[in-house]
Amino acid sequence: MIKLYNIDHFNLEQTFLCGQAFRWEKDANGVFYGVVANCAAKVYHYDQNTIYIESSNPDLVFWSNYLNFSFDYNKAEELLSKDKSLLACIKAGNGIRILRQDLWETIVSFIISANNNIPRIKKIINKMCELFGEEIQFDGKVFYGFPTPEVLAKLDLADLAPIRAGFRDKYILDAAKKVASGEVNLGQVAKLNNKTAKAELMKIKGVGTKVADCILLFSLGRHDVFPLDVWTKRIVQELYGIDEKSVPDFVCKKFGNNAGIAQQYLYYYYAIEGNKLQSSAV
Pairing of strands 135-138, 24-26: unpaired
User: Of 210, 233, 253, 254, which residue is the catalytic one?
Assistant: 210
Task: Say which amino acid occupies 80.
Answer: L
Amino acid 279: pLDDT? 53
Q: Residue 138: how many CA atoms within 13 Å on its side-chain side?
A: 22
CATH of 2-70, one of 1.10.600.10, 1.20.120.420, 3.90.1150.10, 3.30.310.260: 3.30.310.260
Amino acid 16: pLDDT? 94
Amino acid 273: pLDDT? 86
* DSSP character at residue 148: P
Q: What is the largest CA-CA distance in the chain?
A: 53
Burial 227-266 (b: 16+ CB within 10 A, else e): bbbeebeebbbebbebeeeebeebbeebbeebbbbbbbbb
Specify the domain boundaries for CATH 3.30.310.260 within the chain: 2-70
Does this model's pTM top 0.85?
yes
Amino acid 281: pLDDT? 41
Q: Is 42 a catalytic residue?
A: no
Amino acid 9: pLDDT? 84
Amino acid 282: pLDDT? 40
Spatial contact of 216 and 222, defined as CB atoms under 8 Å apart:
yes
Three-state DSSP at 45 gives: strand
Block means of pLDDT (10 residues each) for the chain, 282 residues, are 82 92 94 94 87 91 92 93 94 93 97 93 97 95 96 97 96 98 95 96 96 97 94 92 94 96 94 75 40
